[in-house]
Amino acid sequence: MKALVYKSTGSWYVVKNEVHQTFNARIKGVFKIDEITSTNPIAVGDEVEIEIENTAENTAVITNIYDRKNYIARATPHHNKERHIIASNLDQLLLFATLKEPRTSQGFIDRFLVASEAFHVPPVIVFNKADLYKKKEMQLFEERKNMYVEIGYTVLLTSMQTGEGADDLKNILLNKTTLISGHSGVGKSTFINAIVPELKLRTRDVSGWSGKGMHTTTFAEMFDLPFSGRIIDTPGLREFALTDITQQELSHYFPEMRERLSECQFNNCIHVNEPGCAVKKAVENGKISEERYISYYNILSSIEDKNY
Ligand SMILES: Nc1nc2c(ncn2[C@@H]2O[C@H](COP(=O)(O)OP(=O)(O)O)[C@@H](O)[C@H]2O)c(=O)[nH]1
Ligand SMILES: [Mg+2]
Ligand SMILES: [Zn+2]
């Protein structure tokens, strides 16, 4: 029978069938999946075929995996070329960011957006902790919101304290499978607890955990929402993999650059020192934000040039 993977620990999987029965499953046999090298054969969000092993103990074996619509991966720490699939079959990525306690850097947000473009999963950016924003942060929020909305992204302002933005956020999650990510301390667990009350995920307040200097390897887990939809929590996840992106490709993942590429004088332009560059001209004219260009340049510099 068909089932969906809700949790993966590497050797065991929690799966649910179409009538919402839960099984602990393991893999039988060897899977050849996609054309990618990954450290894990099966991930949260995968649709799999299972055979029940023991009805009393609710155990099953996974005998097959169906094609993935998409997936998102992180780089593995010691193996730049290898990927670890975080989750698959996603409708959207939800980035939780904050402008205070702590402030999420623009660079981090833009790297997230590049990953979402590269993996072909649309992003939504949420600025949380609105209740803490004073005039300065509100001004910054408006600037960033305008900048991102202009290039086609959805931006929300929320507060888990006051409930501001909660309805808009719920509407965005409705009927979709959403992967939530963001730095530690921005309010992801607080948010998931608020929409799935019976969960009681550990938040920083409850645990008293400082979050500093601790390396926890936890696993992605999917939850059914009380209204229709699913959310995938990714505790401990730092960043998505940008490992396969070449310097040549990078500007394709900035929508405001992508639409101007054909106007660059050289078709292999990387928009740094080339004459007749339409991207640099747009930055000079204020049509492309300088902050976005800086993010582009920083990511470009971090990519090994595979052409040389
Ligand atoms: N003032 C304020 N605090 C919040 C808000 N959302 C979460 N927090 C607090 O921020 C801290 C970190 O939240 P947590 O959900 O554990 O963050 P996570 O690491 O992203 O899962 C906790 O003390 C929360 O109570 C918010 O909207 N406003
Ligand atoms: Mg958390
Ligand atoms: Zn150019």
Cα gap 189→223, rounded to integer Å: 12
CA angle (5, 92, 157) in 5-degree steps: 125
Cα gap 120→155, rounded to integer Å: 18
Amino acid at 37: T
Residues having CB within 6 Å of any atom of ligand 1: 128-129, 131-132, 159-161, 182, 184-190, 203-205
Q: Encode pLDDT of 25-65 as tens digits.
A: 998 766 655 555 566 789 999 999 999 999 999 999 999 89
More confident residue, 194 or 219: 194
Identify the nearest ligand to the CA of 210 by its number: 1
Read off the pLDDT band of 214 (50, 70, 90).
very low
Q: Any residues with CB less than 8 A from the CB of 225 and at least 6 apart, and which?
A: 173, 195, 196, 231
Q: Which atom of ligand 1 is nearest to the CA of 128?
A: 27
Q: Which atom of ligand 1 is nearest to the CA of 190?
A: 15
Cα gap 132→116, rounded to integer Å: 28
Amino acid at 152: G
211-230: average pLDDT: 75
Neighbours of ion ligand 3 (CB under 5 A): 264, 269, 271, 277, 279
Q: Encode pLDDT of 101-147 as tens digits.
A: 999 999 999 999 999 999 999 999 999 999 999 999 999 999 999 99
Tell me the pTM. Answer: 0.91
